[in-house]
Structure 1
Amino acid sequence: MKQILIVGAGKIGAVIADLLSACGDYEVTVADRDGDALGRLETALPALTVETLDAHDDTALSPILANKYALINASPFGMSARLAQAAAGAGVHYFDLTEDVASAHSIRDLAQDASTVLMPQCGLAPGFISIAAHDLCTRFDTLHNVHMRVGALPRFPSNALKYNLTWSTDGLINEYLNPCEAIVNGERREMPALEELEHFSLDGDSYEAFNTSGGLGTLCDTLKGRVRNLNYRTVRYHGHRDVMKLLLHDLRLGERRDLLKDILEAAIPVTMQDVVLVFVNVSGMREGRLMQETFARKIYSCSINGTLRSAIQITTASALCTALDLLVEGRLPERGFVRQEDIRFDDFMCNRFGRNFMIDGVEPDSASTGGECRTM
């Protein structure tokens, strides 16, 4: 069995540990400096090992990394470059969930000389959204517009933000403040977060969407010179964006991130009753005609291995576990920087973890046409 080290025992790290330890193919060690989080994890998932670790301490990290197949970073985005460097130095594959653009760029530079795989951005957005979008893009002769929309929303909103905390508060604040990559009229640009507000409906429900940072992953590089317009926006219920602009800009809490984090975590409860919305729309020319194809999906919270998990936990953890599985199976490059769009959509959806993105156990043959999942 492959030995895996997960750094971070939080909302997503716990589910990654559950999925991998339960499948029978991985020996899992979870490391965190929070003894209480490790204690809860050890009680719930006895088939794994826990280690108290301050990941800032390189001398403590090195012995835990010894003989591991992969390091999975499920800690805050600020740890990404440090842990990627430690994994590369130890000859260990590296995966993370970061939406932080600067961290992903530093890992890409580090990967040029690495003997193992360094694969950041393995979650939902960035992550799965790039896989679905790239699959649609391959069906066009020339591309006009690629629009990617993702939201993790409470099913029963009950506050002025119409939002509940479902994942990293640090990551949420980061993506609401940092510049957003896009391609506009064929030119790569940085757009301000929280801007370009739009409204749309899906399955009879109304939403708003606006710029947030990091969701495109590496698609700006991959599609540069091929697409006229490429953008990513986060989906929320109506009114959320305006309240966040008040907090971040008018009250200047964007300049005091630690205080804003404390306020949000003290006032906004976590919910397990959520829905993840994924929407990709691609238009372009095919066989001389202007065509459009769309991928839309809603994933809800449910029980996995006897424990209720939120939709954002399920989708984020399953996406990373799928990437790990595909590397083990030889379906990804064996070294260097690996992009999300290097994963074939069919490979992802027919993977045992990727099937958590299916509807009622059935998945179309592609991101746009009907049919049952093919046996690989």
Structure 2
Amino acid sequence: MGVVTVVGLGSMGKAALYYLLKHTNHEVWGYDKSSEVVNNALSLGANAVRADVMDDSVTKKIASNSDVVLTAVPQSIADSLVIKLHDYGVNVVDLIFLWKFSDEVAGRVKNGPLVIPACGWAPGLTNLLAVAASSELDIVEEVGIHVGGNPVNPRPPLYYDLLFSVESTIEEYVRPATIMFNGELKNVDPLSFIYPFKTWLIEGDFSEFYTDGLSTLIVTMPKWFRTIKTMYERTIRWSRHLEVMRVLKDLGLLNNTDVLVKSLGNVLKPGVEDFSLTIVEAKGMINGEPAKIAFEGIDYAREGFTSMARLTGFTAAIVADLVAKKAIVGSGLVPIEEAYVRNRDVLRQVLNGLKAENVKFMLTKTVTAP
């Protein structure tokens, strides 16, 4: 048993806290500056403290009293907090650190305590599934990640509900997405290409667009799979929603982020009943024949948690548990896909942990004979 501290007790952090309390024997602590969310954490049975985690004295105390810190703070402070905790000597699992990969930021944590970056649902779980699927192939040519959290009942005018922060939601539509095409990395405008999307998992009129979720995969995948030529993440939305967002883009209304945050913040309502789609595919060759490996799953809101919070918070909590139990070890920056390469049992443990909360994935292998 160790001490696992969750910093940031919003929807994702609360889900992580819930999982750790329910499924592990660790001593679990939570920190946030909001009295409301701290009280919610106390009601779950956690040791929860109201404090500003960006205060150096608080950060140092958290680091010295913890075996692992799971950080679920806003994107605006995630990088600086993770680096501070790392410098104070504690292992860290974070939801969005290095979501946009940076050599400079990665270099700040290349040695010392373990840091597992961008370890939520997407990126995070999707990274793990991408490398696991690719490892089933003899030759890897393409990896495609198709993910999306959406309201069960989409309502006008935006046909979307707020499932995480307004700022991060808008980022999906305005930040250039890094993808690999013909073996080279390139940046594309997210809404430049909108593709129809269908899946056997659910009926509905869906579309998808490029988003910037490859994170550390842009450096890890080419290192292990030198034949890879194509790699991307696309986010799935109800088609009506992307039609509206495309109009906003064409009118130039996506250019002023500050105004957009205020405007959409007044329109978007917090999501309650949502579902999340995850389809991760690797294509290439097995025994000289074309082949495809796919992980597919759908999850719905349950027990007061949105599906997005479940997938994000539970995945991070499972990984934090594995670090605390020393099932994942290492020094410095260790993306979750690298933890898998070092120990393939990580996949089984993560998927079994998710299954304990009724989150299930199906693995299919298709080999096409001539």
TM-score, normalised with respect to structure 2: 0.88
Distance 1:349 1:355 in 2: 10
**1:88 aligned to 86, 89, 109, which one?**
86
Shift, 1:39, TM fit:
2.5
Equivalent in the alignment of 1:348: 347
Amino acid at match of 1:151: G
8 Å CA contact 1:181–1:188 kept in 2: the answer is yes
Amino acid at match of 2:312: T
Distance 2:142 2:101 in 1: 27
Structure 2 CA distance for partners of 1:274 and 1:343, relative to 1, 3 Å: farther
Amino acid at match of 2:233: Y
Distance 1:99 1:67 in 2: 22
**1:316 aligned to 312, 328, 336, which one?**
312
Equivalent in the alignment of 1:209: 208
Amino acid at match of 1:140: L
Amino acid at match of 2:206: Y
8 Å CA contact 2:140–2:227 kept in 1: the answer is yes
8 Å CA contact 2:111–2:331 kept in 1: the answer is no
Distance 1:100 1:255 in 2: 24
Distance 2:63 2:257 in 1: 35
Equivalent in the alignment of 1:374: none
SS of 1:82's equivalent in the other structure is helix
Shift, 1:183, TM fit:
0.9
Amino acid at match of 1:334: G
8 Å CA contact 1:146–1:231 kept in 2: the answer is yes
**2:332 aligned to 331, 336, 346, which one?**
336
Structure 1 residues 224-373: aligned runs within 5 Å: 224=222, 225-247=226-248, 250-257=251-258, 259-303=259-303, 308-344=304-340, 347-351=346-350, 353-356=353-356, 367-368=363-364
Structure 2 CA distance for partners of 1:279 and 1:102, relative to 1, 3 Å: closer
Structure 2 CA distance for partners of 1:152 and 1:106, relative to 1, 3 Å: farther
Shift, 1:85, TM fit:
1.7
SS of 1:302's equivalent in the other structure is coil
Amino acid at match of 1:153: N
Distance 2:136 2:73 in 1: 36
Amino acid at match of 1:326: L
In the alignment, structure 1 segments of 5+ residues that lack a partner are 371-376
Higher relative contact order (CA 8 A, sep 6+): 2
Structure 2 CA distance for partners of 1:338 and 1:249, relative to 1, 3 Å: farther
The two structures, once aligned, show a CA RMSD in angstroms of 2.4
Q: State the percentage of identical aligned residues.
A: 22
SS of 1:336's equivalent in the other structure is coil
TM-score, normalised with respect to structure 1: 0.87
Shift, 1:180, TM fit:
1.2
**1:122 aligned to 97, 119, 122, which one?**
119
Structure 2 CA distance for partners of 1:161 and 1:363, relative to 1, 3 Å: closer
Amino acid at match of 1:216: L
Distance 2:194 2:129 in 1: 23
Shift, 1:17, TM fit:
1.2
Aligned residues: 357
Amino acid at match of 1:126: P
Structure 2 CA distance for partners of 1:49 and 1:216, relative to 1, 3 Å: same
- Once superposed, which parts of structure 1, at least 4 consecutive aligned residues long, lie more than 4 Å away? 102-107, 356-359
8 Å CA contact 2:32–2:50 kept in 1: the answer is yes
Structure 2 CA distance for partners of 1:328 and 1:369, relative to 1, 3 Å: farther
Distance 1:52 1:248 in 2: 40
Shift, 1:41, TM fit:
2.9
SS of 1:50's equivalent in the other structure is strand
8 Å CA contact 1:332–1:342 kept in 2: the answer is no
In the alignment, structure 2 segments of 5+ residues that lack a partner are none
Shift, 1:6, TM fit:
1.8
The CA deviation string for residues 22-78 of structure 1, in whole angstroms up to 9 with x for no partner, is: 334222222222222222332x31x22222222332233222332211221111112
8 Å CA contact 1:318–1:356 kept in 2: the answer is no
Structure 2 CA distance for partners of 1:357 and 1:296, relative to 1, 3 Å: farther
SS of 1:353's equivalent in the other structure is helix
Distance 2:114 2:105 in 1: 11
Amino acid at match of 1:146: V
The CA deviation string for residues 220-273 of structure 1, in whole angstroms up to 9 with x for no partner, is: 21222321111111000113223224435624344233x322332322212221
Distance 1:333 1:148 in 2: 27
Larger mean CA deviation between 141-150 and 20-29 belongs to 20-29
Distance 1:363 1:200 in 2: 19
Distance 1:290 1:318 in 2: 35
Matched, 1:144 2:141: yes
Amino acid at match of 1:210: F
Shift, 1:184, TM fit:
0.2
Larger mean CA deviation between 280-289 and 339-348 belongs to 339-348
8 Å CA contact 1:80–1:103 kept in 2: the answer is no
